[in-house]
Amino acid sequence: MTDFLDSPLKTLKGVGEKTENLFNKMGVYTVRDILSFFPREFKEYPHPKTIDDLNVGEMASVLGMVIRPIVVRRFRKFSISLGVLETENGVIEVVWYNMPYIKNTINRNMPYIFYGKVSEKNGVLRIEQPALFEPGEYENIRKKPVPIYRQTKGLKNKAITKVVTQALSGVDEISDDMPSYLLEKRNLLSLSSAIKLMHSPDSLEDLVKARDRFAYTELLEFFLEAKSLENGMDVIPNHFNLEKHEITDKVKSCLPFELTEGQEEAISDIFSDFSSEYITERLIQGDVGCGKTVVSFIAMLRMAENGYQSALMAPTEVLATQHYEGFLSDIEKYDLDFKVALLTGSTSKKDKDSIYERLASGDIDFVIGTHALIQDKVSFKKLGLVITDEQHRFGVKQRKVFSDKGDTPFSILLSATPIPRTLALVLYDGMNITQIRTLPKNRQKIKTAVVDPSLRTKSWQMIVSEIQKGRQAYIVCPLVSESENSEGENVIDYEMKLKEVLPDSIKTSVLHGKMKPDEKEEVISRFASGEISILVSTTVIEVGVNVPNATIMMIEDAQRFGLSSLHQLRGRVGRGADQSFCILVNSAPKQNENAKKRLMCLKESNDGFFIAEEDLKLRGPGDFRGIRQSGEMGFTIVDIYQDANLLNEAKEDCEEILKEDPALKKPENQIFLVLKERGKNKIFTNL
């Protein structure tokens, strides 16, 4: 069976060199890879509607015939294809963006099912970017949920599904190394059953059961790795002398604003750590805009005052640069005799070599950077503190990386994702936790509105109004590009629609996770400099983007996102002195009261911790939103809100396993040794 799993994709029927190369482009090389290439989402197609029953904003299907030739209108960089669809009780427009070839694929006067998003323009209903099906074909796909895979140009969903179907033919032969007592205890599916249902479920209920198996496995690996790292590091006595505090106290007293109660508590907790008996790790959770950067600066200042170095890691070069410039400004403002350096992937080789030398000699007190800080060439003379965001999931892992670069440092993790304390205590087991729950007094509340798609044009007008005042805007879409059977707005087509209706003077650009890192950095930099007025983006802006001049955000298909994700996105605006706005476009059917109820939480509150608690209440195990491309804590399958029960179960099981068998010598526990050594996110036990 192992030979089959490790065989290249081209051994499967219908996979030639060209198709194999396209799969390779997505990181899929073997049968083993394709089995773990889970669908991005699943879709249940609705029964065809009449025109009178259509609602703007919904995804709907209509039976009809194209009665006139499709007209293609070409613009500079895109095209629009328009057609008229005749149905049983009237006509409706159909429109495709950047698909001029569609006119040659449709037979006039032949019935098709057109499935797409319903919109309205100039009082006329239309279906945007509809997929086409023959009536019999459509009835077949309505019988069970349809898997929608991540795709690349030249490789459509149907082709991927055919390859997956072949790979699944041997899945029954896969043995399951997960101990049977755990499967029985937690009522989990076997590995082979879970794999089959993740790709081809008979119902959404089956899909939830399959997903639970992999979410539980991922969580168990998470806790095993965490415990392994903790057990692999001795408790280290505090060898730092941090008694001096006069400079730090003076700077605190000279701040041009009053620290909030939460900031004072965080600083007090950090200073208490500095004087404790052992080296510690602390998580500081604070809502967007709560002032974690100031807390970080004061903590690093205390280190510098006592002769120790500090490092701050940011998730993007743009944010690292902003932190660096802010630190330089503060050092000049308070007339401090400390040296600051910026180290990122874009730093020139000459400057890098200089920074390496100065860090090793102790000439640099504060270094701000990205993951360039953990390269082998970086070493410190007297490293006392490392501050980073939650991309590094474990304080102990972070400390382990830096311990070889100088003195074993204190670690602080900054998280801008408010997580209910009940979950934080489980996820960050063994770490000290501080939650900053208060915002600065001068912070204006972001005005939030929940609208349906019929108000999209008015929303665009509001965005234009803000831009005319010299401001900037974000528009967030759930998808990168139009793909077969896709559902929801995508950034590529959306920008085209904007170019169709906005003045040429308003510059737009797109940002998404499929872009290369340097491409993303360039777009973010252009937006930060004001060159771009509207940034049409996926959720990649959720962290690492700070543009105070951006005052308005519009989130399409907002009902598709978790409340905490929406709150994080909203936090990209409201970072300056001007009033900011967030428009949540709810494209769910009007009868979906739960979607409206969830989004109203955002309208009524700007308190991230309250919203996180509501998210925890409103998202249950049956609220399946598909396989996450990225998520809290870097999980692949797990959603910490949706999987709160599994989270506690996996932690409990991990502790019991290690308590009864610390060395994992029992035969049934041997697999856990593999999991611990292998690291996170390998969601199969033996694949």
| pLDDT range class, residue 194, cuts 50, 70, 90 | very high
Do the Cβ atoms of 134 and 154 come closer than 8 Å? no
pLDDT at 685 (0 to 100): 43
- Whether 24 and 128 map to the same domain: the answer is no
For position 254, which CATH number holds?
Answer: 3.40.50.300
Among the candidates 544, 575, 605, a domain finishes at 605
- Whether 361 and 267 map to the same domain: the answer is yes
Do the Cβ atoms of 337 and 364 come closer than 8 Å? no
pLDDT at 2 (0 to 100): 59
Do the Cβ atoms of 310 and 384 come closer than 8 Å? yes
- Whether 471 and 417 map to the same domain: the answer is no
For position 14, which CATH number holds?
Answer: 1.10.150
Number of domains in the chain: 4
User: Distance (Å, rounded) from C-alpha 384 to C-alpha 544?
Assistant: 25
- Whether 355 and 488 map to the same domain: the answer is no
> Is 560 domain-assigned?
yes
Do the Cβ atoms of 624 and 208 come closer than 8 Å? yes
| pLDDT range class, residue 523, cuts 50, 70, 90 | very high
> Is 230 domain-assigned?
no
Chain-wide mean pLDDT for the chain? 86
Q: Tell which wins on pLDDT, 275 or 76.
A: 275
- Whether 377 and 418 map to the same domain: the answer is yes
Mean predicted confidence (pLDDT) in 493-520: 88
For position 105, which CATH number holds?
Answer: 2.40.50.140
- Whether 12 and 55 map to the same domain: the answer is no
- SS3 assignment for 342-401: EECCCCCHHHHHHHHHHHHHCCCCEEEECHHHHCCCCCCCCEEEEEEECCCCCHHHHHHH
101-105, 233-237, 508-512: the lowest-pLDDT one:
233-237
pLDDT tens, position by position, 533-546: 999 999 888 766 78
- Whether 581 and 524 map to the same domain: the answer is yes
- Whether 432 and 464 map to the same domain: the answer is no
125-139, 333-347, 655-669: the lowest-pLDDT one:
655-669
pLDDT at 20 (0 to 100): 92
Mean predicted confidence (pLDDT) in 444-456: 90
pLDDT at 234 (0 to 100): 64
- Nearest one of 493, 580, 556 to 77, comparing CA atoms: 493
> Is 229 domain-assigned?
no
- Whether 344 and 388 map to the same domain: the answer is yes
User: Distance (Å, rounded) from C-alpha 607 to C-alpha 621?
Assistant: 25
Residue 488 has pLDDT above 80, yes or no: no
- C-alpha gyration radius of the chain: 27
Do the Cβ atoms of 255 and 294 come closer than 8 Å? yes
Structural domain boundaries enclosing 134:
45-144
pLDDT at 398 (0 to 100): 61
pLDDT at 630 (0 to 100): 40
- Whether 371 and 465 map to the same domain: the answer is no
> Is 140 domain-assigned?
yes
Among the candidates 383, 402, 436, a domain finishes at 436
- Whether 485 and 534 map to the same domain: the answer is yes
Adjacent-strand bridge partners of 29: none
User: Distance (Å, rounded) from C-alpha 510 to C-alpha 491?
Assistant: 6
> Is 218 domain-assigned?
no
> Is 499 domain-assigned?
yes
> Is 470 domain-assigned?
yes
| pLDDT range class, residue 674, cuts 50, 70, 90 | low
Among the candidates 542, 572, 605, a domain finishes at 605
Contacts 24+ apart (CB under 8 A), 266-275: 266/292, 266/295, 266/434, 266/436, 267/295, 267/298, 267/299, 269/432, 269/434, 270/295, 270/299, 270/302, 270/412, 271/245, 271/302, 273/410, 273/432, 274/238, 274/240, 274/242, 274/302, 274/410, 275/238, 275/242
| pLDDT range class, residue 392, cuts 50, 70, 90 | very low
- Whether 270 and 400 map to the same domain: the answer is yes
The whole-model pTM stands at: 0.78
Residue 290 has pLDDT above 70, yes or no: yes
> Is 666 domain-assigned?
no
pLDDT tens, position by position, 455-480: 999 999 999 999 999 999 999 998 88
pLDDT at 683 (0 to 100): 41
